[in-house]
Structure 1
Amino acid sequence: MTLIADCIPMPFRHHAVVASTLIVLALAQPAATTEIDHAKQYRDCIALSKIAPNEAFGSALAWRDLGGGEAAEHCVAASLVALEQFAEAATRLEALAQRTRRAASIKAGLLGHAAQAWLLDGKPERAETVLTTALRLTPDQPDLLVDRAQARADRNDYASAIEDLNRAIDIHGGSADAFAFRATAQRHLEQPEAALRDVGYALALDLLHPEALLERGNLRRIKGDERGARKDWMMVLSVAPNTPAADAARANLEDMDVNKQ
């Protein structure tokens, strides 16, 4: 029996503290550029990067040259992520984190974004290094701990991943992501009962959480409950059709059907 799905690459997400602070920074641009509403420009640029990244990239570069500052640089990087230029985006985000004189939380958030880009580029070792630096700046930031757990799991260091997830859950009380990722790590360490318990916690927080449904399907198949596994994987395809979780669910279904022949 082959289970395709392991740790699922997370989507690039914008840490709230970074986004809100960059809007503040945009409002504080020099007087020479006050004819531009920089806060609106930042919001519009980030939104555009999700639907038309080429256009957003060009717009962000032009805005940067007109005095958009760090907010514009951040949108350049976000556009590069959407264009799947992950290494270039990560490098720019690291450089921006090094240059900024803002609060430690902003530096850490930018480094967190850089690490997510390194993960998407298939560089978990680099991502872990960057996240460790970020966590020195903000040791109790649960999102960074979850991200580092992802990097460690991608290196098959599931025990260390669980340590980070335990800490994130202790600090924040737990999120669906944290419980679902910990369940995956526990399965790899042959702790199926603990994994099932964490999947239950994740689904109690988010009934349709794709990674939790995917993982419950994996665990059900291990127990021989192919009907239950199929139901969970089909639900993933329904609620999150164009995601890595759906790709894994589809592969699992195909594997299960092949083994029946």
Structure 2
Amino acid sequence: MNRIRSVLLGTLAAVLLAALAGTALVLVQGPEAEAAGDSLPLPPDMPRLAIGPQYEECLGRLRRDPEGALAFAEAWDGAGGGEGAKHCGALALLATGETEKAAERLEQLARTSAGSTPARAAVYAQAVQAWMLANQSGRAFAAATMGLTIAPGDLDLMMDRAVALGTLGRYADALGDLDRVVAADPERAEAWVFRAAALRRLERVEQAMAAVDRALRLAPENAEALLERGIIRQLRGDTAGARADWQRTIALAPDSAAADLAQQNLALNEAGPQRR
């Protein structure tokens, strides 16, 4: 995957799966702002809003010193740094936990930027993810929709909008976006995971199992896929299989949001029968 979403996907995946779960075996918890601070900056292949050494230096500082990057961006912006300074500053705010402020700035920048369509779409995607981390799913949906008006084929934005739709309880709409993603890129494992969750929430459990099996064929050690398959197995009465999947989730990604949810599911599984 590209863009900032490679950093945030683990958290967003668990958030979407939690929102789509519809079962007492998954406890919905909002994403934590500090998740944005882990190895935040843009990969080198992402379309840039600006060029030049100051932009690259500011983005590079995000990796090791987000507060320093914020100070650098603010000083640079005050000296006429333009879109590059504003973009780096917004990402630095996200990295330091100011998720709502970062989302507002990223969305405004994506809307008004003179940059290329791919670069603007990438910034819209960052705004979507920042809104999600700020627990503002409605704003995330709106930002994703605006991004898709300028880049209707952007699969990352479709994925991000599906996440927002799932947390809003709009499962059929989320499934529509996910269907478009897997039609365009059938090798995208995380899209199959999210699709499985949406199908299950729509009570299409057998189709959900087929989708998560597809995800695990593509990525056998995908923690979110194992979390989801465990939920489906539990719904089908396969308690032992569910337990094995959740234990594997924790072993593969012990510090992830998916592992936290798997641990909660295991505890509830041990405490008594499934409740809906």
TM-score normalised by structure 2 residue count: 0.80
Label 1:2 to 1:252 Cα distance change in 2 as closer, same or farther (>3 A).
same
CA distance 1:15–1:133, change in 2 (3 Å): farther
Deviation at 1:6, TM superposition (A): 6.8
Distance in 1 (alpha carbons) for counterparts of 2:84 and 2:154: 22
Q: What is the identity, as a one-letter code, of the residue corresponding to 1:127?
A: A
Distance in 2 between residues matched to 1:127 and 1:39, nearest whole Å: 26
Q: Do the aligned partners of 1:8 and 1:211 also contact (CA within 8 Å) in 2?
A: no
Quick check: 1:19 aligned with 2:46?
Answer: yes
Q: Deviations over 1:118-169 (max 9, x none)?
A: 1111111111111111101011111111111111111111101000000111
Pair 1:83-2:99 in alignment: no
Are residues 40 and 107 of structure 1, via their aligned partners in 2, closer, same or farther at CA, if it must alter by over 3 Å? closer
Q: 1:163: which partner in 2?
A: 176
Instruction: Report which structure shows greater RCO (CA 8 Å, sep ≥6).
Output: 2
The residue that corresponds to 2:17 in the other structure is: none
Q: Give the equivalent residue in structure 2 for 1:2.
A: 24
Instruction: Return the letter of the residue paired with 2:74.
Output: L
The one-letter code of the counterpart of 2:196 is A
Question: What is the aligned partner in structure 1 of residue 6 from structure 2?
Answer: none
Match of 1:118 among 106, 128, 131: 131
Counterparts in 2 of 1:62-77, with a 5 A limit? Answer: 62-66=75-79, 68-77=81-90
Mapping 1:122-161, distance limit 5 Å = 122-161=135-174
SS in 2 for 1:20: coil
Alpha carbons of structure 1 residues 234 and 223: separation in structure 2 relative to 1, 3 Å: same
Equivalent of residue 217 in structure 1, options 215, 230, 233: 230
CA distance in 2, matches of 1:7, 1:166: 26
Structure 2 CA distance, aligned partners of 1:209 and 1:134?
28
Of the structure 1 ranges 205-214 and 64-73, higher mean CA displacement relative to structure 2 is found in: 64-73
- Check conservation: 1:142, 1:169, Cα contact below 8 A: no
Q: Kindly indicate whether residue 67 of structure 2 is the aligned counterpart of residue 54 of structure 1.
A: yes
Counterparts in 2 of 1:91-106, with a 5 A limit? 91-106=104-119
Distance 1:40 1:104 in 2: 20
Question: Offset at 1:43?
Answer: 4.2
Spell out the pairing of 1:184-199 with structure 2 (5 A cutoff). Answer: 184-199=197-212
Structure 2 residue identity aligned to 1:3: L
Which range is displaced more, 236-245 or 213-222? 236-245
CA distance in 2, matches of 1:247, 1:72: 36
Larger radius of gyration: 1
Moved more, 6-15 or 103-112: 6-15
Compared CA separation, residues 175 and 116, structure 1 to 2 (3 A): same
Does structure 1 retain, via aligned residues, the 8 Å contact 2:223–2:252?
A: yes
Q: Secondary structure at the match of 1:207?
A: coil
CA drift of 1:26 comes to 2.1
Which amino acid letter does the alignment assign opposite residue 171 of structure 2? Y
| TM-score where L is the length of structure 1 | 0.84
1:38 alignment partner AA:
Q
CA shift digits 1:9-31 (9 cap, x unpaired): 69768776983324xx222xxxx
Contact 2:161 2:177 in 1 (8 A): yes
The Cα shift of 1:68 comes to: 4.2
Shift in CA distance, 238/196, structure 1 to aligned 2, threshold 3 Å: same
Of 182, 187, 191, the residue aligned with 1:178 is 191
Equivalent residue pairs, number? 246
Higher share in helix: 1
